[in-house]
Structure 1
Amino acid sequence: MTEPWRDPLLPASARVADLLSRMTLEEKAGQLAGFWALPSDPGAPVAPMEDDSGEPAPGLDDIIGLGLGQLTRVYGTAPITAEAGMERLAALQRQVTEAGRFGIPALAHEECLTGFMTLGATVFPGPLAWGASFDPGLVRRVAAAIGEGMRRVGVHQGLAPVLDVVRDYRWGRTEECIGEDPYLVGAIGSAYVRGLEGAGVVATLKHFAGYSASRGGRNMAPVAVGPREFADVLVEPFVRALREGGARSVMNSYTDVDGVPVAADERLLTGLLRDELGFGGTVVADYYSVSFLESRHGVSGSRGAAGALALTAGIDVELPTARCYGEPLTALIRSGDVPEELVDRAAERVLLQKAELGLLDPGWEPLKPEPVDLDPPENRELARLLAERSTVLLANDGILPLRPCRVAVSGPYADDPHSFLGCYSFPNHIALPGDPGVEIPTLGEALAAAGFTVTADDPEVNVLVLGDRAGMFGRGTSGEGCDAETLDLPGDQATLASAVLDSGVPTVLVIVSGRPYALGSLAERAAAVVQAFFPGEEGGTALARIISGAAEPSGRLPVSLPRQVGGQPGTYLHSTLGGRTDWSSVDPTPLFPFGHGLSWTTFGYSDLAVDPVAPTDGTVSVGVTVRNVGEVAGTEVVQLYLSDPEASVVRPRRWLAGFGRVELAPGEAARITFSVHADRTSFTGADLRRRVEPGEIGVAVGRSSGDLPHHGSFTLRGPVRHPAADRVLSVPVEIVPVS
């Protein structure tokens, strides 16, 4: 007779309860740890490594007799073809299932921030480009394509998306973020989650929470923010991605928040995440963050004690490999110092997820190795489309679009295909020299293919490519551990740009970067400025199509672009006193504001209509007509901002409440209507409870946070209301053509 835990017809909870009743403490603990099969020569570091003893790490054979929770980055640690990776994964899974008493396979996870991070897989634009697209539907399609490739080769979980809201552009991981506004991050991040989860791959939200608010923009530095900023800015995208996206996993932040490491913070990982937000999936540790409690944070005196802190806080799985959750932790449980119920709690969550994935079903077998194309034409088409829709035209004196002519393509990244890729692309993450594994046309090559004569002799136009080269831990100017002291263009690029601009030849600046840089007068002197945020393998083609006019630049800035390095860091989401005032000599007004982006055409706004009154639990309709008043077709990103002129705590001057992309032919118009629930005005009050207050709410609609031609207001009436956990998080938008 089949044991109940093997019966797929039974509820997962019943199966897991039966399995747990049969397992020893050590077998349950085995499900809480990962194993990272690092190569003998791992090369450049790809994570904040932990080796505090000098002793050799345990091998797989040393630990799998008691079972194993996860296999870490079988595909994403060293160059390996998809077929060879499938062979390797199948061999590892056979080892795991044959060694353990219950034959339970491990869950396999990989990175997928700019695509499935393995050799030969499509490298899509990075997360800042997702945000710049203002296109959740397209991002969902991209995530679905990424998930499909992962699922085809036996991967169960993807470590993305990053939902950290940008607070300081100097932070090296800005490139991994979606933007500086929590609503935009939540909308785009939730779309990515739906795409990945819809493909059958577990999405992992990271890094919960506060990581991006580190002091000085330094990686892993302490975080000191108030409870309102933490709740209303840093946590808000996670709420939406859990509620609307359906993510099944969360990864903790490395940092300490007000002196408490997140990996040991029960208030955050259990009280907030589970009790308040209702999360029922697994919490996985960022790599080595459990043992960092001992070695970096100094809040525990041993590996076992570190494991006990993390397990108590709510971390279910130690990644990337077993250090604290194995024998050091079980020894404390055997001694009675740590309750076994904590292991049971985490093991139940892990096994429930394995049941959902079919890993407890009888007859489970690893996928048979076969040739798999992880960069098919349809993926490249998606990558190009996202690269185009995320490219931002910052400034243009009319030179663009450019007809085929003699162009000089120069700059430090004119001929470097790696410059289009983020730090979590396989070629840059692994520091892979030479062939990146996928075809990546440079901008010069793409312009030549589009009919331009690329030459250094007597050019009619200069195309100067500046920006970043992403890497890890100091191997780049952007990326994890590659923080910046200032927001000057790296190295001597500003000097180079000034010299090229002095040549008298009209110059198009193309900035390909992982963060916004202070361009100052360079932008004013250039004929045009184009911004792309690590646009991926099709970035060169996409930029060439935009420069030539074959495609339109419909991206909008997901982060403000500073004017001078001394006026930052700062984002548009600030109070009145956080902006330009007469009481400070420093003017933080950006050169280009959040949401800014030009098109080949112009759009007119008219007929703003706002419902005048609603109850504090009601909905207000905000409508505006947008017309293409230019001579060519184009896409406008209509943005709705709210403000609260009188509140019980200090509020931002304005915040993004909704947006919609609308494509219009010349002369065409559309009516854009936003349905704004009163919950979108809620905030954390002085008593640290979320509240909706009666009173006037300002409304502004337009092209960016700094270009809002239409203003109105509505009044909320009724008592102060404290929204429940099911509060409304999004603002639906309806787009209807009009004559």
Structure 2
Amino acid sequence: MSIEALRKRYAAPSQGDPHVTAQTPPTPPFRDPQLPFAKRIDDLLQRLTLDEKISFLHQFAPAVGRLGIEAFRTGQEALHGVAWMGPATVFPQAVGLGATWNTDLVRRIGEAVSKEARAMHAQDDRVGLNVWSPTVNLLRHPLWGRNEEGYSEDPKLTSAIAVAYTRGLRGDHPTYWRTAPVLKHWLAHNNETDRATSSSSVRPRVLHEYDLRAFREAVEAGAVAGVMPAYNLVNGRPNHVSPYLREHLRTWTDEDLLVCSDAGAPSNLVDLEHYYDTHEEATAAALIAGVDSFTDHGTDGSQIIARVKKAHADGLLTEADIDTAVRRQLSVRFRLGEFDPLYDPHAGLKDFDTPAHRALAQEAAEQAIVLLKNDGLLPLAPDTRIAVVGLLADECKLDWYSGTLIHRSTPLEGLYERFGAERVEFAEGVDRVLLKTSAGTFLHVPAAADAVDEVRGAEGALDPALLAGRTDLPPLTTDATGTEFALIDWGEGILTLRAPDGRYLSVADDGYVRASADQPGGWVVQETFRLEPHDNGHLLRHVGTGRHVSVAADGVKVADGNPEPEAKPDVWELIVTERGEDAVTQVTERADVVLVVAGNDPHINGRETEDRTTLRLPAHQERILRAARVTNPNTVLALVSAYPYAVATAALPAVLWTAHGGQAAGTALARVLSGDVSPAGRLPQTWYEDDADLPDLFDYDVIGGRQTYLYFEGTPLFPFGHGLSYASFSYADLSVRVDDAAAHVSFTVTNTGDITADEVAQLYTRAVEPTVTRPRRELLAHRRITLAPGAKADLSFEVPLTAFDFWDVARGGWRREPGPYDVLVGASSEDIRLRTTVTLDGEPDAPRPVLRHGLNAVDFDEQSGVAIVDRTKAAGDAVTPATGRNAELIYRDCDFGDGIAEVTVSVAGDGVLELSLDGGALLAVLAPDETTASDDPYAYTTLDADVVAEGVHDVHIRLRGPLRLAHVGFSG
């Protein structure tokens, strides 16, 4: 039935209807589907009491029974499938979706995820429809622990994939949304280390040209319901009170955008960041800045409600401020069809784990695989004898934002299926060990068959959610023979221990060690340990609690805060019964080809709350790879990882990479290795050759730090956009036509190979004669196409001329420089096949009119040792030495006209400012004296000095000491 028919059928009866009795209550306007949402929200707002509206500000908004309004929860994780709510279709990690470079595919995945969310919501209202996905933080630094959650280091690719995913999540109905996507995490968030207290120093050019772009294009596309601020501070100010929400985000659309806080972040404003003295002040500031839903204290809204009420009573908030936030929440709820159940076209969806969704998960896993190197060894012939080795060879890993697998396929299982079990041999390559106590006994896993059987599902599979943290299984003990464990070394001193039945050693809340986990996981991973050399053996430290493992009379446990004598840490002798390399050598010498499957566990050494420390593969995995290669030179490396690695590939004939590929990962890899599918994934970020190529994790200046493919001047291991195919492609007939609004680019791509395959054509540009630092090359557009042998595709792109603009700090706005621009077409950022140069009109460079406006301190052209900080708690930026000692700033081409006689500076704190022109002698030295210096970082004072200068000069400023500089003025 159409929406129009439903409206007629269920419309409120008119007052002239003879069937309407005097007792029939009139339909309130907020229930009238024929009225615009805005009028309905107006009506509902005036019906709600102040207390009811305040209660809506917490993530878990309660029901309002007197109005028939149900409870509502903001937030449902859905990064690559519905997460945390049990079984669901699991698609590749977000970085893997980015590697597909396929917006149509990602849109279809978004559709599938939103349909499953609707189907699950119909069965369990804990499954929310306001989904906190996708993550559009740019993958600026590959050591960021949450690399797996983003799409790309490039803002154009990130926004293209994000737009596709959010359109799929939103659905195509013009009125009612299938789900309401919220983008994460606003803004400049790329470090887990000190993530709630560190400040990202983001200069204006980086802010506008880089960090804001991925958010902006997704919001402007019209399928985004809101954003979630990040934990970190930007330029000294917490994201949850950022003026950018008002100054930028809300100017990009006329829709009401819902801003949902990250979990616990409202309290962080006081408890961790000490930005405000009281929670009432902090809550009021966040609400006024634009936060509409407070995710804090779990399901308990009482503390947030109390804070808002007191802030209102103290005059820090008005009821209008509260109404504004509630209006944005209600806007989302109306769009989701909550108040129109009979009209909502998505209400009856039952699409869950359908054959189409399973096929889509496999298609996505196949398209995400990137062939990094191939000397002709791939694809493999059907009769190839394969040795499969490595820690991830028989694993289908999930991450923190995964759903529970309904189906799964490991690389080993995929190869068994494709090549036959008789042609595939397997060796995990882990060390097999016994752990012996100083008393001569061995660590032992007692039998627990009955207890485990209790949690087996219908198909006999263990439910990891039930196994992890169990206390009904017997704890480990010691005996005369012991249990042989698989010791899995994940690098950086982190290891897991697995019992022969496949269960991992884990520590439950009672402190006892049990073999009880199907996989490492959880917010605090309880399955990881460290072996610490001690005397002639080792202490075994449990990472989750930070305590040592000891043997007590009632079982093996971790020491408590005041251990009894029997609970003192034991010294363990590690006895290796089989080296992983030896097991690998045995199977690889019999094989035609060796497949080494290496990479990471997404819960260990790089994840939310934990950054990586190196690009290197763990040493144990490097040893396995070396052992395989020495025994059999036909060794293929398949990296299955959430982030890039620096690996030596010169001696390897073939290398592939895929993110953790969800439920169909193994099948997809086998189909690519066999040639059933030609790989066409492309790297969504630069793979660097060495740790020395990386900037500091906290250096957010991608321009000054020469970061990402946009500015990196070294030689990468593999460049952005790189990926090989089993086919070959030629490019020809490049044509560029420029009109007043756009550059129209066209070219042809031909499959010159002998198989049907995908190609990802990439369009870049480069300013040839820039007056400021511009990208070495910058992605303008891309398209993934499928071509049969000999087939040709005519591709065309309409690139708005604004894509050639940069943020001009001298003018405080976008500007396009007139002059030549290279137009580059190819198969990666470095594999350029066609190029031409066009000359564009624009606004010519001009000196800064500093006599008119002076210099905002943050609008520098170059800097050394500078941190950008908050000018006030409400708005504005200032600069200060990052270490509190020395910093230098350069402002190019400042026009002093016929001459100046005085300089004035607005500064706060203590220190010295030195000013010179063109790097010459000092013209002025200014410092607060005892009467103007203050410990208050926001207590600015104006200092002045006599100077004489005329014409155009570069202004050099040096700051010594913890001095904040907000503005520099000049007068004649």
Equivalent residue number for residue 364 of structure 2:
386
Specify which of 788, 796, 801 is matched with residue 678 of structure 1.
801
Which residue is 2:284 aligned to? 308
Give structure 2 stretches of 5+ with no counterpart.
1-25, 122-127, 172-176, 427-586, 846-972
State how far apart, in whole Å, the 1-side matches of 2:328 and 2:684 are: 36
Residue of structure 1 equivalent to 2:49:
24
Residues 1:395 and 2:373 are matched in the alignment: yes
276-285 vs 137-146, which moves further: 276-285
Kindly provide the amino acid, as one letter, of the partner of residue 455 in structure 1: E
Q: Partners of 1:340 and 1:662 in 2: how far apart?
A: 54
Q: In the alignment, is residue 455 of structure 1 matched against residue 480 of structure 2?
A: no
TM-score (norm 1): 0.81
Does residue 335 in structure 1 map to residue 314 in structure 2?
Answer: yes
Instruction: Give the deviation of 1:596 after TM superposition.
Output: 0.5
Partner Cα distance (1:317, 1:510) in 2: 43
Q: Secondary structure at the match of 2:678?
A: coil
Letter aligned with residue 156 of structure 2 = Y
User: Is 2:122 aligned against 1:152?
Assistant: no
Q: Aligned in 2, Cα 1:305/1:101: closer, same or farther, shift over 3 Å?
A: farther
Query: Is 1:249 aligned to 2:217, yes or no?
Result: no
Tell me, what secondary structure is at the counterpart of 2:799? strand
**2:110 is matched with which residue?**
143
Contact 1:219–1:483, Cα closer than 8 Å, also in 2: no
Q: CA deviation at 1:163?
A: 0.7
Secondary structure of the structure 1 residue equivalent to 2:54? helix
Deviations along 1:144-197, one digit per CA (max 9) or x if unpaired, are 000011112333211101111111100011110000110000101000010000
- Which structure has more relative contact order (CA 8 Å, sep 6+)? It is 1
Whether 1:695 and 2:819 are equivalent positions in the alignment is yes
1:174 aligns with 2:147: yes
Distance across 1 between alignment mates of 2:132 and 2:260: 10
Partner of 1:60: none
Does the residue aligned with 1:355 lie in a helix, a strand or coil? helix
Alpha-carbon separation, structure 1, partners of 2:347 and 2:776: 57
How far residue 630 of structure 1 moved from its aligned partner, in angstroms, is 1.9
Q: Per-residue CA shift, 1:237-279, capped at 9, x if unaligned?
A: 11111111421121111110111000011x1111211135555
Alignment partner of 1:628 out of 745, 751, 757: 751
Q: State how 1:609-648 maps to structure 2 within 5 Å.
A: 609-611=735-737, 614=738, 617-648=740-771
Separation (CA, whole Å) in 2 of partners of 1:225 and 1:294: 23
| C-alpha distance in 1 between matches for 2:256 and 2:130 | 16
CA contact (8 A) 1:115 1:425 kept: yes
Residue 535 of structure 1 and its aligned partner are, at CA, apart by: 1.0
Mapped pair 1:134 → 2:101: yes
User: CA 1:362–1:408 in 2, change beyond 3 Å: closer, same or farther?
Assistant: closer
Identity of aligned residues (%): 34
2:866 is aligned to none
Q: Which residue of 2 aligns with 1:356?
A: 335
What code does the residue aligned with 1:460 have? D
Q: Structure 1's 219 and 279: CA in aligned 2 closer, same or farther, altered over 3 A?
A: same
Runs of 5+ unmatched residues, structure 1: 36-66, 69-95, 428-436, 581-585, 722-739
List aligned pairs for 1:5-44, cutoff 5 A. Answer: 5-35=30-60
Q: Corresponding residue for 1:548?
A: 674
Distance 1:13 1:368 in 2: 22
Could you say what secondary structure the match of 2:632 adopts? Answer: coil
Residue type at the aligned position of 2:289: A
Match of 1:713 among 837, 843, 863: 837
Please give the per-residue CA displacement for 1:16-60, whole angstroms capped at 9, x wherever unaligned: 22222232221111111123xxxxxxxxxxxxxxxxxxxxxxxxx
Contact 1:395-1:528 within 8 A present in 2 as well: yes
Which letter does structure 1 place at the counterpart of 2:684? P
Measured on the aligned residues, the alpha-carbon RMSD in Å equals 2.7
Question: Does the CA-based 8 Å contact 1:218-1:483 persist in structure 2?
Answer: no
Q: Contact (CA 8 Å) 2:145, 2:192: kept in 1 or not?
A: no
Higher helix share: 1
- Paired residues for 1:18-417 under 5 Å: 18-35=43-60, 68=62, 96-98=63-65, 103-107=69-73, 109-117=75-83, 118-154=85-121, 155-198=128-171, 200-212=178-190, 214=191, 221-265=198-242, 267-275=243-251, 278=254, 280-319=256-295, 321=298, 322=301, 325-361=304-340, 374-404=352-382, 405-417=384-396
For 2:195 and 2:328, the matched residues in 1 are separated by 34
Q: CA deviation at 1:126?
A: 1.2
Structure 1 distance, partners of 2:409, 2:371, is: 21
1:352 aligned counterpart, secondary structure: helix
State the shift of 1:324 in Å.
Answer: 5.1
Which amino acid in the other structure matches residue 592 of structure 2?
E
Residues 128-147 of structure 1: CA deviation (Å, up to 9, x unaligned): 11111110001000100000
Contact 1:460–1:505 (CA<8 Å) still a contact in 2? no
**1:291–1:324 Cα contact (<8 Å) kept:** no
1:137 partner SS: helix
**Residue 374 of structure 1 aligns to which amino acid in structure 2?**
F
Matched, 1:443 2:423: no
Say how many residue pairs are matched.
632
- Give, in whole Å, the separation in 1 of the partners of 2:795 and 2:348: 50
- Kindly indicate whether the alpha-carbon contact (under 8 Å) linking 2:380 and 2:673 is maintained by their aligned counterparts in 1: yes
8 Å CA contact 1:172, 1:218 repeated in 2: no
Q: Distance in 1 between matches of 2:667 and 2:395?
A: 14
CA distance in 1, matches of 2:143, 2:197: 13
User: TM-score scaled by structure 2?
Assistant: 0.62
CA distance in 1, matches of 2:251, 2:357: 39
1:257-309 CA-to-partner distances (Å, cap 9, x unmatched) read 111000011x1111211135555221111111111111121112232222112
Q: CA deviation at 1:624?
A: 2.0
3-state SS, counterpart of residue 796 of structure 2? strand
Shift of 1:648: 4.2
- Change in 2 beyond 3 A, CA 1:579/1:153: closer
| 1:594 matched residue in structure 2 | 720
Contact 1:137 1:191 in 2 (8 A): yes
**2:693 is matched by which residue type in structure 1?**
G
Deviating more after overlay: 355-364 vs 458-467: 355-364
Query: Is 23-32 or 498-507 further displaced after alignment?
Result: 498-507
User: SS of the counterpart of 1:402?
Assistant: coil
Change (3 A) 1:294 1:546: same
Q: Give the C-alpha shift of residue 656 in structure 1.
A: 0.3
> Do the aligned partners of 2:59 and 2:74 also contact (CA within 8 Å) in 1?
no
The offset of 1:598, in angstroms, is: 0.5
Q: Is the 8 A contact 1:392 1:530 kept in 2?
A: yes
**2:914 aligned partner:** none
Partner SS for 1:236: helix
Give 1:469 deviation, angstroms. 0.7
CA distance in 1 between counterparts of 2:342 and 2:831 reads 61
